Amino acid sequence: MNGEQPSEWGAWVVLGGVHLLNRTAPQRPDEPIVLVRVPQQEVCRPATTVIVRWDALGTCLAEALHPGGTRIGAATIDGGELFPDAIAGTALRALVGNEAAPGLVPLCYLAEHPGGGYHAYAQVRFHPEDACFVRTTPEPVGHGPVEDLRWFEPVLTAHAESSTALNNHLRYFRKHFSGTELEFKYTLDPAPDIWAASMELLKALRDGKLEGCRPEYRDEFQIHHTENHLFDVTGPEPEIGYASFIPTVTAGHVLKRKWFTEDAFARREKLTPGLDITPDRFGTYLTEDLGLQVRAMPPFQRVRYDIQCESMRTGHVYGIFLDRCALLAAPDVVLSQCELEYLRSRSILDHDPDEVLIEMKRIDSWLCEYFADCGWATEHTFYSKRSFLRDAITFRPDLATQ
């Protein structure tokens, strides 16, 4: 329905004691449940992820009930006054009482289904400014008026069944295609200022220009600035690809391996962190310790700005990386690219992993159109860092590393 829902479909943020999420105490018969009627917050339907920003809700009707459905009271509260400092505000405190208020948190986002019943989205992140919710009900639950609370026990049960995932520190992530990198590349020519380009692209995502997607909640942008020492792995044949040493902030290097006989969309990938070796031993480590045949490539500086893009429909998270690589020995030799890569998924519901491939193609089409409008690129390419370094040596033999 292109993200448009009839206004009569109800939506609520349900508040209750935090112990109902972290399971530190059983539900009490006298504790309040608060239904806060809110404008529909789903970017699309069906949705996997919902973000609620308190100050964007406007004036809301909040109704407090006992678990059995007995009405305690009601109040109109501005969304921005619900949880100042992530603590129940004055109006909520007056509604539920001083005993219950300190432990009051958003439990779930509840969305009325047009055929009856409700979809529930468990709260996984909660801050004074906003909260993130992930859908836990594959089918609608609890038919009947929302005040009857027929949906409440099924929602708590669904949360309990997935509590290990929902309550873990990652809140909640899984990764499909483990050990394989799925990636589209775009060579940007003429090369833009990648900082300005990143900010404009991030703004486009915030503004909803890519349907059904938004910047990832609380992790929308990252900056990477590293040196890379890349080796072309020429044999034995099953090992053909490259090995790249990347320094870490704490100590040592990460070894990034990719295997391929030719550049492609899907490639086997492995990261080995914590290698305590110095650059003068990189080649020796690869040949003697790993038994590889390698050729050293010119070291390069990499500046990369990562835009994290989350699909609200599936929960899959994709990285859109704007990347500038310049040779340390020849800063005028530069590769400017964008990469679209699958990163991880925020969902406890079962999704067909092939949806990642379908969704990546859709984002790829959008990016190609976006870059074409900017005059930078018209299609994706499989031109890699390894190919760039090989070409650099071909045209500038003086850059070859002995």
Q: What is the mean pLDDT of residues 290-297?
A: 95
Band of residue 296 on the pLDDT scale cut at 50, 70, 90: very high
Phi, psi (rounded to 5 degrees) for 319? -95, 130
What does the alpha-carbon distance between residue 91 and residue 75 come to, in Å, rounded to a whole number? 8
pLDDT tens for residues 95-117? 999 999 999 999 999 999 988 99
Is pTM beyond 0.85? Reply is yes
The pLDDT of 60-69, averaged and rounded, is 93
In degrees, rounded to 5, the angle at the alpha carbon of residue 216 between the alpha carbons of residues 300 and 343 is 55
Query: Do 348 and 319 form a contact (C-beta atoms < 8 A)?
Result: no
* Single-letter code of the amino acid located at 104: L
Is 3's pLDDT higher than 80? no
pLDDT for 261 equals: 66
Tokens for 386, please give them: 């390894």
Residue 35 has pLDDT above 90, yes or no: yes
Higher pLDDT, 25 or 197: 197
Residues in Cβ contact with 260 at an 8 Å cutoff, skipping those fewer than 6 apart: 240, 241, 267, 268
As a whole number, mean pLDDT of residues 169-196 equals: 89
What pLDDT score was predicted for residue 26?
Answer: 86
pLDDT value of position 169: 85
> Would you state the pLDDT for residue 4?
40
Q: Where residue 353 falls among pLDDT bands split at 50, 70, 90? A: confident
pLDDT tens per residue, range 206-220? 999 999 999 999 999
Task: State the pLDDT confidence band at 233, using cuts at 50, 70 and 90.
Answer: very high
Q: How far apart are alpha carbons 258 and 247 in whole angstroms? A: 17
The predicted-structure confidence for 101-157, as pLDDT tens digits, reads as follows: 999 999 999 999 988 999 999 999 999 999 999 999 999 999 999 999 999 999 999
Per-residue pLDDT band for 168 (boundaries 50, 70, 90) equals confident
pLDDT for residue 266: 82
Q: What is the mean pLDDT of residues 231-240?
A: 93
Q: What percent of the chain has pLDDT over 70?
A: 97
3-state SS of the chain? CCCCCCCCCCEEEEEEECHHHHCCCCCCCCCCEEEEECCCCCCCCCCCEEEEEHHHCCEEEEEEECCCCCEEEEEEEEHHHCCHHHCCCHHHHHHHCCCCHHHEEEEEEEEECCCCCEEEEEEEEECCCEEEEEECCCCCECCCCHHHCCCHHHHHHHHHHCHHHHCCCCCCCECCCCCEEEEEEEECCCCCCHHHHHHHHHHHHHCCCCCCEEECCCCCEEEEEEEEEEEEEEECHHHCEEEEEEECCCCCEEEEEEECCCCCCEEEEEEEEEECCCHHHHHHHHHHHCCCEEEECCCEEEEEEEEEEEECCCCEEEEEEEEEEEECCCCCCEEEEEEEEEEEECCCCCCCCHHHHHHHHHHHHHHHHHHHHHCCCCCCECCCHHHHHHHHHHHCHHHCCC
Cα 30–chain centre separation: 38
374-392 pLDDT per residue, tens: 999 877 787 888 888 988 8
For residue 283, what pLDDT is reported?
94
Residue 2 pLDDT greater than 80, yes or no: no
